[in-house]
Structure formats: structure tokens, C-alpha cells
Amino acid sequence: MLGVTETVWRTDTGRQRRENEDSAYVRAPLFVVADGMGGAQAGEVASRMAVETFERGLPESGSPESRLAELVRDANQRIYDRSRVDRGRAGMGTTLTAAYLTDGQLAIAHVGDSRAYLLRDGRLLRLTQDHSLVDELVRQGKLTEAQAAEHPQRSIITRALGPEPEVEVDTFTYPLRPGDVLLLCSDGLTSMVSEERMAETILTAPGLEQAADRLIDEANEAGGRDNITVVLCRFGEVDKEGSGDQPTIVAGAPASPAGDGGPAASGRSALALATAPATAPGRLAPRPERPAAPAAGRPRRPRRLAKPLAALIALVVVLFLVGGGGYLASRQLYFIGTNNQGIVTIYRGFPYDLPAGIHLYETYLESGVPAVLVPADRRGQFFDNQLRSQEDALNLVRQLELGRISQ
């Protein structure tokens, strides 16, 4: 039967951090990596709470995927509740990627931008998709992989455990073969070392222990901007009697000394997941994370006309739109605001709400950028309800997506 024949894990603070906010749980057939965020050791608390949730093992009923997801949701609730009662931990969160071996298959549960890879036949296959701003823009075709690697907001993640009472968990199952090697890692590795180089390092190392050490070393040699955690395990045929849990247990990976003792780098940030009420474009209630997003204020929403004049103005506007090409003119006018999820959005039409829920605009294009990432000194340019040409609106939002408008 297929089982785990070799397992190793390593963690390192990196060269630009004082503390290690990564944690891991390694006990075959269950493997977990979590990368915390929040500052003032809150990230370390969040990641430890996440992996500690897995110590009790998976629930007894349900598919492997559903059992993993249940534990992830439990961890999310624990972290969220703790952040609500402990003001020093407010806004803390963590990524989490978990893998569980069962019946020759690997069940995966994933939130955030830590990753799971499978090395097979000399190729490193990425099993997870990052829940990050730049990855979403890449999937939308708005950024290339090369642009994403240099994007100033590449550390912004769009999904994490802790910021909200509920979390969406990606789950899937992947069939295994003897000789496959699983790699779980935090973004301290993937942001520093290319996938091609990671594959080469594992393939050329005498064993997994040497491979893990070399991966850590290469991430540090490339700059070591973040904490680095690596979990490697090899799958192969094992006797049924020897297929039980392995004795390696880690509940909250220990922090190793900082490489250079330098200042802590600005950490990663979970986007504000609290959404605005379902009203007109432009309302946003951001939850600041680490690093603190620019003070968002409230993006200017389309103007609601005063009630005493509303009926008269509405009549005039309708007559204008119906007659003399006014409607066609409105189709050539655009303005920028935010949608109900706080995402920068281009609208076509006039920035006005009339009584009875009548809008003189329609959504033209949703960007991939939350309004909290618009610098404070540029917010007026985006949210002043200024009427623009299509080209002007598209160019301005495109510059924001490419990271050319930043603090």
C-alpha cells in the first residue's frame, strides 16, 4: 500500500524579520503549513492556533476533503474569536495549506498563498492557487507572471483565516504514485526561489533533509525577505503494519534566529474582507491588516438627489435621456467608484441615484484592486465622480492594477 516513506520539515526566520510567524504540523498522514500575519506577534499566535486545531486529528465522518475543510473552518472561528476579545490581536490572520494522505490519494485544503506542490517524474506541479491580489490579476490576464513577480502589492492576499467569521476553503484530491514528493511551503520560499530552481534542488539533493536545507539556504541567499518554512515528504509502497502515523510532530514551528538581525520587513496583508452594505457604488468599510493599508476614508458614492427636487429632476433627466440623443451621450461617459465588495470599478453613465432605486449608471468593468489600496493622496482622483472618457477611465485603472499608482 502507498504510504509515507520519508518526511522532513525546516523553518527559518529569514534575513529581514526578527520573528518567525510560520508554523507547521507534521505527523503522517497529515501535514500542515501556516504563515501568520498581524504584527506584534499576532501572526505567530494565529498560525499556531491554526496548526493546533489539527492536533486532535480529522473528524470521523465525511470525505477527507470535507473533514479537512471542517478543521480549517474551526481554526478560522477560533482565530476570529480571539482577535475580537484580545485587542492586541485585532486583525490577526494566517494562511493555511493542509494535505492528508488516504487510500493512495492526497486531499488538500487551502486558504491564502502558502502552497502545495507535487514533484513527479522530474516536474514540479503546483497543486494550489494563491489567494492573492497579483495572482487574481494574472488569472484575469491583466498581469504577466513577470509583472506579478515585481508588483509592489504582490504580498497582498485576498483570503486568510481570522479576519472574518467565515472563510471559503479550496479543497481537492490528487491521486498519488510511488516516488511522488509533496512540498508544502510558505511564501518565504516561493517569493525568493523559482519553481524551476526548487525542482532542481530537490532532484539533485541526496535526500529530503539535504533538499530542505538547500531550499532554506537558497531563499536566504536570494534575500530572505520573509519567514521560510518547508515540509517535504516522499510517498512509496510500505507494509500495512508500518503504515501508521510517523512520530514527527510539530505544533507551531519554533522560530530560528534572524539571519542578519536586521529590521523586520513590512509584513503581508490580508485584504479587508468586511464588505460594504449592498448600496450604491463607492461604500467601503475596510478592516486594516498588516501592513496597514492607507487610510481609506469613504470613497465618494454617486450623489443621491435631494428629495424636494427629486421628482422634478428625475422627470427632466428622463426626458433628456429619451430625447435628442441624450441617452447615446450617456453611453460615452464613465466614472470610477467601488462596488459593494469595495473593488475599484468603472461605471458607464451619470453618477446619480434617483428615488425608487433608479440608477443612471451601469457597471462597465470591475478591476482586481480593492479601494483600500488606492493611496490616500490619489483617492480624490479615483472617487470624485468625475466624468471621463472610456480611454481615460481604463488607463487610470490599468495603472492602478499594474502597481504604478502606489504609496
Query: The CATH number of the domain where 214 resides is what?
Result: 3.60.40.10
199 and 148 together in one domain: yes
264 with 319, same domain: the answer is no
Residues 240 and 356 in one domain: no
Last residue of a domain, one of 228, 250, 270: 270
- CA 190 – CA 390 distance, rounded (Å): 38
Domain of residue 326: give its range: 303-401
Contact 348, 336 (CB under 8 A): no
> 67 and 177 share a domain?
yes
Q: Flag whether 286 is in a domain.
A: no
Query: Residues with Cβ < 8 Å from 134, sequence gap 6 or more?
Result: 143, 148, 151, 153, 154, 156
pLDDT in the model for residue 198:
97
Cβ of 222: how many Cβ atoms within 10 Å?
15
Contact 167, 159 (CB under 8 A): yes
Nearest-angstrom CA–CA distance, 235 and 254? 26
Q: Which three cell numbers stand for residue 373?
A: 489600496
340 near 276, Cβ under 8 Å? yes
Q: What is the rounded distance in angstroms from the CA atom of residue 71 to the CA atom of residue 65? A: 10
DSSP 331-357: TT-EEEEE-TTSEEEEEEEEEEEEGGG
If asked whether residues 254 and 326 sit together in one domain, one would say no
> pLDDT tens string for the chain (407 positions)?
899 999 999 999 999 988 899 999 999 999 999 999 876 568 899 999 999 999 888 998 899 999 999 999 999 999 999 988 887 787 889 999 999 999 999 999 999 999 999 999 999 999 999 988 877 787 777 777 777 676 666 667 889 999 899 999 999 999 999 999 999 999 999 999 999 999 999 999 999 999 999 999 999 999 999 999 999 999 999 876 544 444 344 444 443 333 333 333 335 555 533 333 333 333 222 323 333 333 333 444 555 444 555 555 555 555 555 555 554 555 678 888 888 767 888 888 877 776 656 677 788 888 777 776 777 777 777 777 778 888 888 888 877 776 777 65
pLDDT tens-digit profile of 220-242?
999 999 999 999 999 999 876 54
Do both 264 and 308 map to the same domain?
A: no
Residue 278 lies in a domain: no
Residues 261 and 318 in one domain: no
**327-385 pLDDT, tens digit each:** 455 567 888 888 876 788 888 887 777 665 667 778 888 877 777 677 777 777 777 77
Grid cell 513577470 is found at: 146
As for how many domains the chain has, the answer is: 2
In a domain, 297, yes or no: no
Q: Do residues 122 and 199 make contact, with C-beta atoms less than 8 angstroms apart?
A: yes
- One domain for residues 323 and 233: no
Of 217, 248, 270, which residue is a domain's last? Answer: 270
